[in-house]
């Protein structure tokens, strides 16, 4: 029987597709109220309520009946999950941590354990990056990468991406057609030089939004930046009880917004078989109804941000009236 893998429900379905497609089963823990990333306390509680263990000491999930082997924290919106406690909990329960760093190219986390800032994608056993065109580092088509410090794992992943071969027509295993095409690699290599500058622009824009929204502190919640985080603002997400009304009014004023994500994964039809009920993951469920992604990209101008802010202030006063 396959593994059980713990992740969060407020992410893109690619996170859980990667779990299911290797024969494992996803299950969810709820998120932190402030960061919207995996809540270490909830992860700990979830693992501590397991009462049986596999022969090699891993907790058996009460939900799936399978051994839990892996935790997949998602560095959502460009801010890392709180990795020290997650890694510590993983060690206690003999679990592997795989980072979903698909929104966090260049983001950093201050590890008290290591006494240094660490990049997203350098803390787990392996990490996934997406180079989908809209990401902080995007190709002009489909692309992605896996990072790991484990040499044997790196070799295996290199083989898997090329039909399980290391030398032509010698297949050690079945793999995939997962090669990065050379043209995308060339584009990414050129754009990589600008990533740090573009991320800095995003952070400056986030700071500007924060200042512009000070008067709205009763209506919207701006992103929380813990002292241990250097986020890269893949998305700039605010929270409001009146999200849908605000979104409609902003659209009428020509300000395009997004929702990341409107339906938590445990409510998706694709995961009905997992048997989750309304109220099982209350923070994720509430946040899905309240998040609103405002315009955010490296070349966003201060003037454009002032326009967004004035429209948002107008919308808030209409909604509150
Ligand atoms: C973009 C993204 C992925 C991967 O998307 P692909 O379409 O496979 O490149 C995975 N997880 C998260 C959180 C993402 O935002």
Nearest-atom number in ligand 1 for the CA of 14 is: 10
The two structure tokens encoding residue 88 = 């510590």
Q: Could you tell me the CATH number of the domain that includes residue 141?
A: 3.40.640.10
Q: Are residues 171 and 47 in the same domain?
A: yes
Query: pTM value?
Result: 0.97
pLDDT means per 10 residues, the chain with 321 residues, are 95 98 97 98 98 94 97 98 98 98 98 98 98 98 98 97 96 96 97 98 98 94 98 98 96 97 98 97 98 98 97 90 75
Q: Are residues 18 and 156 in the same domain?
A: yes
Burial state string for 155-181 with b = 16 or more CB within 10 A and e = fewer than 16: ebbebbbbbeeeeeeeeeeebeeeeee
Question: Which pLDDT score is estimated for 301?
Answer: 98
Are 276 and 251 a contacting pair, CB within 8 Å? Answer: no
Find the 127 Cα to ligand 1 centroid distance in Å: 12
Best residue among 15, 20, 31, 130 to mutate for probing ligand 1's pocket (most ligand atoms within 8 Å of CB) is 130
Can the peptide bond before residue 261 be classed as cis, meaning omega within 30 degrees of 0? yes
For tokens 């948002």, the residue is 312
Instruction: Kindly report the CATH number assigned to the domain that includes residue 313.
Output: 3.90.1150.10
**59 and 18 share one domain:** yes
Q: Which atom of ligand 1 is nearest to the CA of 144?
A: 9
Q: At which of 192, 221, 242 does a domain end? A: 192
Distance 287 CA to ligand 1 centre (A): 20
**Ligand 1 center from residue 19 Cα (angstroms):** 13
Residues 185, 199: one domain? no
Q: Structural domain tally of the chain?
A: 2
Position 320 scores a pLDDT of: 78
- Ligand 1 centre distance from Cα of residue 321 (Å): 39
Cα–chain-centroid distance for residue 188? 21
Query: Of 192, 224, 254, which marks where a domain is finished?
Result: 192
Nearest residue to 15 (alpha-carbon basis) of 94, 90, 84, 104: 104
Residue list, ligand 1 pocket, CB within 6 Å: 11-12, 14-15, 74, 100, 102-103, 130, 132, 144
Q: Mark which of 142, 171, 192 sits at the end of a domain.
A: 192
For residue 319, the model assigns a pLDDT of 84
Residue nearest atom 2 in ligand 1 by C-alpha distance: 102
Q: Which domain holds residue 247?
A: 195-320
Other C-beta atoms lying within 10 Å of the C-beta of residue 313 = 15
């Amino acid at each position: 029987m396959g593994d059980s893998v713990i992740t969060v429900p407020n992410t893109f379905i690619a996170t859980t597709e990667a779990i299911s497609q290797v024969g494992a089963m996803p299950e969810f823990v709820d998120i932190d109220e402030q960061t919207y990333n995996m809540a270490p306390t909830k992860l700990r509680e979830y693992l501590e309520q397991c009462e049986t263990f596999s022969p090699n000491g891993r907790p058996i999930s009460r939900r799936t009946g399978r051994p839990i082997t892996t935790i997949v924290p998602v560095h959502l919106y460009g801010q890392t999950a709180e990795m020290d406690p997650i890694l510590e909990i993983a060690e206690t329960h003999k679990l592997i941590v795989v980072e979903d760093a698909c929104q966090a190219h260049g983001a950093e986390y201050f590890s008290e354990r290591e006494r240094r800032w660490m990049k997203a994608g350098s803390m787990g056993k392996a990490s996934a990056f997406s180079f989908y065109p809209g990401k902080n580092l995007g190709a002009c088509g489909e692309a992605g990468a896996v990072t790991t410090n484990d040499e044997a794992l790196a070799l295996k992943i290199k083989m898997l991406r090329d039909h399980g071969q290391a030398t032509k027509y010698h297949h050690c295993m079945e793999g995939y057609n997962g090669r990065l095409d050379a043209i995308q690699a060339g584009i990414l290599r050129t754009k990589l030089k600008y990533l740090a500058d573009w991320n800095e622009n995003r952070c400056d824009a986030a700071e500007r939004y924060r200042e512009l929204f000070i008067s709205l502190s009763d209506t919207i919640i701006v992103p929380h930046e813990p002292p241990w985080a250097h986020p890269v603002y893949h998305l700039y997400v605010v929270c409001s009880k009146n999200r849908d009304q605000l979104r409609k009014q902003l659209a009428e004023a020509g300000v395009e917004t997004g929702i990341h994500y409107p339906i938590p994964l445990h409510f998706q039809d694709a995961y009905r078989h997992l048997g989750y009920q309304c109220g099982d993951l209350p923070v994720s469920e509430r946040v899905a109804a309240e998040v609103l992604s405002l315009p955010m990209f490296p070349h966003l101008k201060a003037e454009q941000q002032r326009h967004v802010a004035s429209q948002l202030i107008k919308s808030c006063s209409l909604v509150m009236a």
